[in-house]
C-alpha cells in the first residue's frame, strides 16, 4: 500500500516529530537519510517506523536498509512524494526516514564505573550540541549529559549534526545541574569545569580515572555556580587574538588531554 495523503495518520505522526511538543508526546524523534539509517542498524536505538518514498530514492541501499530493519520488527511505510515531503526536514530528501524511540533514561542509566562523561550545561546551538556529542563519541566517552536549559538533543538539526553518533553514545537529557553534581559526588567521579575563573592550564592538571567534564553556554560559558562546585577547573591558553573557542572544539581539546594522560 502506498500512502499518498499528507493527512494520513502515520504521516501526521512523523510530521509532529519536527516539534518538541510532538517528540515529547510521541516519545520519538526523526532521522533522515541513508547514512543515518545505516548507523541505526545494529545501534543502541532501534527504529519504530521507517518511511520509504520510491519516487525519491536514488540509492538502492535505502531499500536494503528498510528490509534489514523490517526483519527486526520495524514497521515499513511506503509513501508518495507529497506525503513524504510534508514531514521531511531536509532540502533534498533521500526518500528514507525513520521514527526512533527516545530512551527513558536518567542518570541511573550511566555506568557507575564510567571513566569519562561529558556534560553540556545551558548549551543552546543545535550545531554545537551535535558536534559535542559527535566529539564525545569519537573519544569513546561513556555518556553525554544535557543539563540546565539546553537545546533539545532530539531536535532534527541536532540529530543531523551528530552524523549518526546519536546511535552510539548513551545520552541523558534534561538533568538539573545540582542533581548531576550530586550524582558525580556520590560515585566518586571527579568533576572538571571548562572555565576561566580560578582555573589552571588544562595540561597542568592531573585528571583522575573517572571524570565528568562540564562545558557551558556559547555566549556566557559555564554558569559560575556550577563551575565553583567543580573539583577541578581547567582553561585552554589561546596565544592568538580570538576571545573564545567553539564549545565543541574546546571540549575536544580538554577531552583529548584527559585521554592522553590516561594512556601515557
Residues 122 and 185 both lie in one domain: yes
> What pLDDT, on the 0 to 100 scale, is given for residue 64?
85
Residues 72 and 135 both lie in one domain: no
> What pLDDT, on the 0 to 100 scale, is given for residue 263?
86
- The CATH number of the domain holding residue 15 is 3.30.1330.30
Q: What is the pTM of this model?
A: 0.91
Residues 229-262 as b/e (b if ≥16 CB within 10 A, e otherwise) read bbebbbbbeeeeeeeeeebbebbbbbbebbbeee
- The CATH number of the domain holding residue 116 is 3.40.1280.10
- Whether 68 has a pLDDT exceeding 90, the answer reads no
Residues 67 and 111 both lie in one domain: no
Residues 137 and 178 both lie in one domain: yes
Domain assignment of residue 82, given as a range: 2-101
The cell numbers describing 65, all together, are: 536498509
End-of-domain residue from the set 51, 78, 101: 101
Residues 202 and 247 both lie in one domain: yes
End-of-domain residue from the set 83, 101, 119: 101
Residues 114 and 81 both lie in one domain: no
Instruction: Please classify residue 200 by burial: count the beta carbons closer than 10 Å to its beta carbon, then call 0-12 exposed, 13-18 middle and 19+ buried.
Output: exposed
End-of-domain residue from the set 72, 101, 130: 101
Residues 136 and 250 both lie in one domain: yes
Q: What radius of gyration do the chain's Cα atoms show?
A: 20
Residues 76 and 38 both lie in one domain: yes
* Domain count along the chain: 2
Phi and psi at residue 101, in whole multiples of 5°?
Answer: -60, 135
- Whether 43 has a pLDDT exceeding 80, the answer reads no
> What pLDDT, on the 0 to 100 scale, is given for residue 67?
86
Distance between CA atoms of residues 156 and 127, nearest Å:
10
Q: pLDDT band for 208, please (50, 70, 90 cuts).
A: very high
Distance between CA atoms of residues 31 and 49, nearest Å:
11
- Reported as a single tens digit per residue, the pLDDT across 112-171 is 889 999 999 999 999 999 999 999 999 999 999 999 999 999 999 999 999 999 999 999
> What pLDDT, on the 0 to 100 scale, is given for residue 257?
97
Average pLDDT, the chain: 93
Share of the chain above pLDDT 90, in %: 75
**Cβ-Cβ contacts under 8 Å for 27 (sequence gap 6 or more):** 101, 102, 104
Mean pLDDT, range 50-55, rounded to an integer: 93
- Whether 9 has a pLDDT exceeding 90, the answer reads yes
Residues 133-168 as b/e (b if ≥16 CB within 10 A, e otherwise) read bbbbbebebbbbbbbbebbbbbbbebbbbbebbbbb
Residues 52 and 158 both lie in one domain: no
C-beta separation of 59 from 32 below 8 A: no
- Whether 38 has a pLDDT exceeding 90, the answer reads no
More confident residue, 8 or 242: 8
Residues 182 and 153 both lie in one domain: yes
Q: Which residue in this structure is represented by grid cell 543515518? A: 36
Distance between CA atoms of residues 88 and 56, nearest Å:
12
Residues 113 and 97 both lie in one domain: no
Residues 95 and 114 both lie in one domain: no
Mean pLDDT, range 34-50, rounded to an integer: 86
Amino acid at each position: 500500500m502506498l500512502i499518498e495523503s499528507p493527512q494520513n495518520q502515520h504521516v501526521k505522526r512523523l510530521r509532529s516529530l519536527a516539534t518538541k511538543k510532538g517528540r515529547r508526546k510521541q516519545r520519538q524523534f526523526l532521522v533522515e537519510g541513508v547514512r543515518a539509517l545505516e548507523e541505526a542498524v545494529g545501534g543502541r536505538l532501534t527504529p519504530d517506523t521507517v518511511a520509504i518514498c520510491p519516487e525519491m530514492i536514488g540509492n538502492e541501499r535505502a531499500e536494503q536498509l528498510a528490509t534489514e530493519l523490517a526483519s527486526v520488527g520495524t514497521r515499513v511505510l511506503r509513501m508518495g512524494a507529497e506525503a513524504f515531503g510534508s514531514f521531511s526536514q531536509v532540502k533534498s530528501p533521500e526518500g528514507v526516514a525513520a521514527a526512533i524511540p527516545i530512551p527513558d533514561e536518567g542518570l541511573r542509566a550511566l555506568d557507575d564505573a564510567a571513566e569519562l562523561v561529558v556534560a553540556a550545561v545551558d548549551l543552546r546551538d543545535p550545531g554545537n550540541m551535535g558536534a559535542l556529542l559527535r566529539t564525545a563519541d569519537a573519544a569513546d566517552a561513556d555518556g553525554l549529559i544535557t543539563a540546565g536549559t539546553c537545546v533539545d538533543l532530539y531536535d532534527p538539526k541536532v540529530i543531523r549534526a551528530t552524523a549518526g553518533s546519536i546511535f552510539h553514545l548513551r545520552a541523558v537529557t534534561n538533568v538539573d545541574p545540582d542533581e548531576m553534581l550530586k550524582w558525580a559526588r556520590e560515585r566518586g567521579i571527579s568533576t572538571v569545569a571548562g572555565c576561566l575563573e580560578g582555573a589552571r592550564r588544562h595540561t597542568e592538571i592531573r585528571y583522575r580515572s573517572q571524570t565528568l567534564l562540564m562545558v557551558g553556554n556559547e555566549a556566557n560559558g559555564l554558569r559560575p555556580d556550577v563551575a565553583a562546585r567543580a573539583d577541578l577547573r581547567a582553561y585552554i591558553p589561546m596565544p592568538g587574538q580570538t576571545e573564545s573557542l567553539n564549545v565543541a572544539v574546546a571540549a575536544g581539546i580538554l577531552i583529548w588531554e584527559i585521554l592522553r594522560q590516561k594512556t601515557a
